[in-house]
Amino acid sequence: MRLVLALVAVAMGSGPVNGATLRAATAKADITPAGAELLWGYEDRQAPATGMLDPLYARVLVLEAGERRLALVTLDLGRSFGAASFARLRDSAKRSSGISCLLVAASHTHSAPVIRDEYKDGPPAWERTALEKIERAIEQAAKSLEPARIGTGTGVAYIGHNRLRLNTDGSVSWFERNLTRIPTSPVDPTVSVIRVDRADGSPMAVLTNYACHPVVFGSDNLRYSADFPGVMNRVVEEKVGGRVLSFFLQGAPGDINPYYAVTPIEQDAVKMRDWTGERLGREAARVAAEIHTENSTDTGIEFAEESLLLRLRWNEDKFRAALLKFLGPKGMEIYGASIKPEFQAPVSTVLINKRIALMTMPGEPFVDFQMNWRDRCPVPAAFLLGYTNAYLGYFPTIAAASNGGYGAASASTWVEPGAGERIVDRAVVMVYEMLGRLTDLPDDLKRDVYK
C-alpha cells in the first residue's frame, strides 16, 4: 500500500501585521431541521427524527488582523458539509465578508440529520436553509467586528474512555460503555480553551477543544440533539456570564467514547448526557475564568490551506461489494458516494499572534494525533480540530490500523495507514514556516547570496 501526499493546491496568508489591532465578533444561528430527517451515525437506526430534544446551532467567530479575516463555524452536526456546500459557504463568506480562511467544524453528534457528500438533486431543503443561515451569521459577525484580546489556558476533565481495548493476545475488543469509569489508555483529558475578550475585558467567546464522541444517546433516540456538547456550551455561558458565546471544538475522538455511551432513553439518557456536558462545561468555565487575555505585539493571522491526495485503503471493487451487502441499497445510497479510489483531503493550519496554532483533519482522527500535535507544535497553544471542512471517515494511527477494530480497520475506515501521521507532520512544518524557522534557501547559500 502506498500513501500519496500531493500538494494539489496551496493558499497562504502569512506574516504578522505590525501595529494591527485584533478584532472579533460572534453570531449564532439555529439550524435544527423543521422536518423529519434521517439521523446520522447508527446503521441500525432507519426511522427519521420525530422531534427536537434540544436545538442544533451553528456558531460563528470571525477574527480579523490587518487585511486577513478568519471565520470559524462550529456545527451541532454529525459531520461537516460536502464539497459543493462547503464551496458555497467559502465563496459566499469571501464575497460578502472578506473572509480569507474558513473553517467549518462539526461536533459529530449522532442526533443530527444525515449529510451526504453528493446529492443527485442538490442538497435537501433543511441543508439549504442551514447554509443560508450560516451565510447570514458570518456576514452579521463580519459587520460587527470590534477590538478584541485573546488568551488560552488548559484544564483536565475525565468524561470518557478508549473504546478499543487491546488484549494480552494482541486482539482488540470493542469497549462501548464504561459505567464504572475504569481507566483506559490512550485518553487525552486535556481541556484546551481559547478566550476572546472585548477591549473592556468582558468575555466575548470561549472555545473549548476536547476529544470525545458525542454519543451518550444511542440509536433509540429519534430526536434532534447536540448531545453533551450542547450542555457544555450552556454551562459555560451560564458560569462565565455576560454576553459570551461558547463554542465546542471537537478534537481527535476517533477511539474515544463517553463513559455513558449509547444509554437507552428509558435508562435516563438525558441525565447521563447532562452529567457528561456539565462535567466538561464546569472545567472549561473554570479555565476560562483564569485566562488573562492581552494585546499582542505580534498581532496577526497566518494560514495555509492545502489539498492532499490520499488513496483508498482497500481493494475498491471488493470493498464496494462487501459494503453493499452490509448496508443494503439504502445505506449504500447514503454512504457509498464517499468511497473513491482517491480522496482530496482539505487541511488547514492557522497561526494566531505567533502563539495559538490550529490544525484541521477532515474526518475522525484517533486521540494519539491530538497529543502528538500538541507535543510537537512549537507554539504554546495547539488545537486539533477534527471533522473540519470535509469528511473522509476515520484516521487511525499506523499502530491502531495494524491492531484492527472499529475505526482502525472497519468499513468506516477509508484512507490508507499513515494518512493521519502525514497530515500532522505537515501542520507542524507549516507552523515552523510561519514562524520563519524553515526557509526556502539553505543557510550556507543564504549567507553567500546576501553577504
What does the pLDDT look like over 208-233, one tens digit per residue? 999 999 999 999 999 999 999 999 99
Residue 445 lies in a domain: no
Confidence at 326, pLDDT banded by 50, 70, 90:
confident
CB 424 within 8 A of CB 359: yes
Chain centroid to CA 173: how far? 26
What does the pLDDT look like over 95-135, one tens digit per residue? 999 999 999 999 999 999 999 999 989 999 999 999 999 99
What local confidence, expressed as pLDDT, does residue 378 receive?
98
Residue 220 lies in a domain: yes
Task: Round to whole Å and give the CA distance between 430 and 443.
Answer: 19
What local confidence, expressed as pLDDT, does residue 4 receive?
46
Task: Round to whole Å and give the CA distance between 100 and 14.
Answer: 11
Residue 68 predicted with pLDDT over 90: yes
Residue 1 lies in a domain: no
Q: Which residues, other chains included, contact 84 with Cβ-Cβ below 8 Å and sequence gap of 6+? A: 118, 123
Instruction: Identify which of 141, 129, 22 has the alpha carbon closest to the alpha carbon of residue 93.
Output: 141
Residue 303 lies in a domain: yes
What local confidence, expressed as pLDDT, does residue 232 receive?
98
What does the pLDDT look like over 387-408, one tens digit per residue? 999 999 999 999 999 999 999 9
What does the pLDDT look like over 4-45, one tens digit per residue? 444 445 566 655 555 589 999 999 999 999 999 999 999 889
Q: Residue 81, CB half-sphere, CA atoms under 13 Å: how many?
A: 25
Residue 57: all three cell numbers together: 446551532
Residue 338 predicted with pLDDT over 90: no
Residue with cell 455561558: 237
Task: Round to whole Å and give the CA distance between 195 and 293.
Answer: 7
Task: Round to whole Å and give the CA distance between 170 and 134.
Answer: 46
Q: Residue 383, CB half-sphere, CA atoms under 13 Å: how many?
A: 25
Residue 67 lies in a domain: yes
Q: For the chain, what percent of residues have pLDDT higher than 90?
A: 85
List residues bridging with 294 in a β-sheet: 150
What local confidence, expressed as pLDDT, does residue 408 receive?
98
CB 140 within 8 A of CB 132: no
Residue 444 lies in a domain: no
Task: Round to whole Å and give the CA distance between 282 and 260.
Answer: 18
Which 3 state secondary structure label does DSSP give 324?
helix
**What residues make up the domain containing 136?**
7-434
Residue 112 lies in a domain: yes
| Domains held by the chain: number | 1
Confidence at 52, pLDDT banded by 50, 70, 90:
very high
Q: What are phi and psi of 326, to 5 degrees?
A: -75, -45
Q: Residue 85, CB half-sphere, CA atoms under 13 Å: how many?
A: 26
What local confidence, expressed as pLDDT, does residue 36 receive?
97
Residue 419 predicted with pLDDT over 50: yes
Residue 49 lies in a domain: yes
pTM of the complete model: 0.95
Distance set, CA 289 to CA 76, 152, 203, 230 (Å) = 25, 11, 9, 20
